[in-house]
Amino acid sequence: MVKASESYVVIDTFVEEEGHELDVNDVMADHGATLGQLFTVCRQWTPKVQSKIGDIVNEFLCRGASPNDRDALTGDTLLHFTCKAGAVGLGCEREAAMAVKRLLDSGASPNAQSKWTGLTPVHTAAMFGFEQGLKLMLDGARRVQCNAKASSYDAQTPLHLAVQGRHMGCIALLLNHGASRTQQDDAGKTPYDYALEAQRNAKGQAERDDVASVCRLLREQPDTASSSSSAAAASSSSSRASATTSGSVRRGSRGSVAARASVATIEVGDRVTISGQRVGTVLYRGLVDFKPGRWLGIELDSPQGKHDGTVQGKTYFTCPDGHGVFVLADTASLLTKGPKNTTSAATTSSKGGKRATHATTTAGTTKPTTSATATAGASSSSSTASHVPSTPRRQQRGAGSTGASPSSRIPSRSPKGAGKSPRGRVSSGSGKVGVGSRVTVNGKRGHIRFIGDTEFADGMWLGVELSEPAGKNDGTVQGKRYFTAKHDHGLFVRPTRATVHGVTVDKLLA
């Protein structure tokens, strides 16, 4: 039921039947309920669960579980889930704050990073505006890493996330405890850069005043990161390079200066490849409401996406259903630049009307004029990035083409479906990797049977068939089959967790 992993335990996940949720009261009353079922309840993040988070934490600890045990599906600890339950305006802050104190007193680590996202509980509290929980963690007699970077969030710090959420109390707490105003994420942006961007995009006087308060707090608060013990997480990168001035490029943790420059030049209309697997056209670039960070909205050439450009009721761009996907800017690589465009856009109504974007191509012979619908939200973090239509794909791949396009040389990933997985192989300087490649995961050997997105978690995953029964499934998760393997021989891992001859797969897919 549990598997030892260093100083904590990874709890095997319990997968509820499709279409059904576990009732928190039923699980709490069932003395035979497993820790996996309790973690499943935590993942549901409903008002009922949020109000019961203290009871759930007590149940975990009374059963002898460590406060740093992790949910196998999300890689989160109890402290992560508790900080989510204290989300400002959504959660039950008082109940969650008491649960945070109980966990900290029991030895929970505020520096524990989620195995999949890289978020710490401090990141989580800052992102969700959970000021009481953040204060408890920062005021404790522990070395709290205020400048830790979240790998799946563009290497952003808690202060980056608090600024984008405009959580003034959290911003002040982080600054007072040594959070750096000048630390850059993988997009080369500091927390203050995001505040300035929000100020430029603010709509209405109330929003402008709100953002101005954030900018003023960041500008006036002294940067104490250099003298604070919580700056340890940033020391290695700051010793290699000083903060860059506007327009310059800094070496990031995921690639070279040249690669970072390539990311910075990706614009709407460009053709890109995502992790060397999927190819599409950028139709949106900027901030989104559903997650922090700078994102690219891409229309894929084939139906390997997740939506039609609309996420959580807001339309960022328009494309056929199943062709749209959002990725962080640094996960896409430029193939070809789009044509120079002259764009004029009609104003957007204040109640979610249509924004018409008319693009006339000045390079080439094609001059499409289209309009796309976009929701005009009153969201505090929406971007004003334009939707510039690309050249129709029939003309890009028409019979009159005289040579292979860049995308024709890139292996594509098949649409998500039962038993379907990519068959191409991606070459790199150190070898080739693809479906069928032999890999090592945590010392166990196996073969890649699936590469792609899943429905149980965001981002790219590898489905690995292990050579021994050390896995967690048979290639099926939450009722959906991604590949076929023997019972307990299947395992899903991030590309960073699998290696080929000592090289992690994410480097071979880059």
Which of the two residues, 20 and 344, has the higher pLDDT score?
Answer: 20
The arithmetic mean of pLDDT across residues 130-149, rounded, is 88
Cβ atoms < 10 Å from Cβ of 333? 17
Q: What is the pLDDT of residue 206?
A: 76
Decide if 30 contacts 59 (C-beta within 8 A): no
Give the bridge partners for 282, in sequence order: 298
Per-residue pLDDT tens for 259-278? 333 444 678 888 888 766 78
Instruction: Indicate if the pLDDT at residue 425 is higher than 60.
Output: no
Contacts of 414 by beta carbon, 8 Å cutoff, 6+ apart: 304, 420, 421, 422, 423, 452
Phi, psi of 219 (to 5 degrees): -75, -40
Retrieve residue 97's tokens: 């704050």
> What average pLDDT is seen over the chain?
70
Which of 39-43, 218-222, 341-345 is predicted with the least confidence, judged by mean pLDDT? 341-345
Instruction: Indicate if the pLDDT at residue 10 is higher than 70.
Output: no
> Helix, strand, or coil here: 96?
helix
Residue type, 306: K
Under the banding of pLDDT at 50, 70 and 90, the label for residue 303 is: confident
The model's pTM is 0.45
Distance CA 228, CA 230 (A): 5
Q: What is the pLDDT of residue 39?
A: 84
Instruction: Indicate if the pLDDT at residue 5 is higher than 80.
Output: no
Instruction: Indicate if the pLDDT at residue 247 is higher than 60.
Output: no
Q: What is the pLDDT of residue 99?
A: 94
Distance CA 151, CA 113 (A): 10
Instruction: Indicate if the pLDDT at residue 97 is higher than 90.
Output: yes
> Helix, strand, or coil here: 43?
helix
Which of the two residues, 370 and 67, has the higher pLDDT score?
Answer: 67
Q: What is the pLDDT of residue 47?
A: 80
Cβ atoms < 10 Å from Cβ of 430? 12
Under the banding of pLDDT at 50, 70 and 90, the label for residue 349 is: very low
Cβ atoms < 10 Å from Cβ of 90? 15
Retrieve residue 104's tokens: 């900290």
Under the banding of pLDDT at 50, 70 and 90, the label for residue 242 is: very low
Under the banding of pLDDT at 50, 70 and 90, the label for residue 369 is: very low
Domains of the chain: 2-241 (1.25.40.20), 260-396 (2.30.30.190), 425-509 (2.30.30.190)
Decide if 427 contacts 316 (C-beta within 8 A): no
**Angle 248-249-254 from CA coordinates, rounded to 5°:** 170
Q: What is the pLDDT of residue 240?
A: 36
The arithmetic mean of pLDDT across residues 496-503, rounded, is 80
Per-residue pLDDT tens for 434-490? 888 888 887 788 889 999 888 888 788 899 999 888 888 999 988 888 988 888 889
Contacts of 247 by beta carbon, 8 Å cutoff, 6+ apart: none
Distance CA 272, CA 406 (A): 10
Which of 228-242, 286-300, 440-454 is predicted with the least confidence, judged by mean pLDDT? 228-242
- Nearest CA to 51 out of 22, 25, 78, 77 is that of 25
Retrieve residue 107's tokens: 């030895």
Distance CA 323, CA 319 (A): 6
Q: Where are the beta strands (DSSP E) in 356-424?
A: 357-361
With residue 139 as reference, give the H or E element that holds it. helix 131-139
The arithmetic mean of pLDDT across residues 276-304, rounded, is 82
Per-residue pLDDT tens for 170-229? 999 999 999 998 899 988 899 999 988 888 887 777 777 878 888 888 887 655 544 444
Q: What is the pLDDT of residue 77?
A: 92
Which of the two residues, 89 and 249, has the higher pLDDT score?
Answer: 89
Question: Helix H segments across 19-130?
Answer: 24-29, 35-44, 47-51, 53-62, 78-85, 93-105, 121-128
Q: What is the pLDDT of residue 31?
A: 66
The arithmetic mean of pLDDT across residues 419-429, rounded, is 37
Retrieve residue 201's tokens: 């995009």
Decide if 480 contacts 494 (C-beta within 8 A): no
Contacts of 463 by beta carbon, 8 Å cutoff, 6+ apart: 421, 448, 449, 450, 451, 475, 482, 483, 490, 491, 492
Characterize 265-283 residue by residue with b for buried, 16 or more Cβ atoms within 10 angstroms of its Cβ, and e for exposed: ebbbbbbbbbbbbbbbbbb
Q: What is the pLDDT of residue 338?
A: 58
With the C-alpha atoms ordered 153, 154, 159, 164, is the resulting torsion angle positive or negative? negative
Under the banding of pLDDT at 50, 70 and 90, the label for residue 339 is: low
Residue type, 243: A
Q: What is the pLDDT of residue 112?
A: 93
Retrieve residue 442's tokens: 């945590």
Per-residue pLDDT tens for 142-164? 689 999 999 888 899 999 999 99
Under DSSP, the state recorded for 253 is T
Which of 54-58, 230-234, 406-410 is predicted with the least confidence, judged by mean pLDDT? 406-410
Q: What is the pLDDT of residue 137?
A: 95
With the C-alpha atoms ordered 215, 220, 221, 224, is the resulting torsion angle positive or negative? positive
Q: What is the pLDDT of residue 6?
A: 40
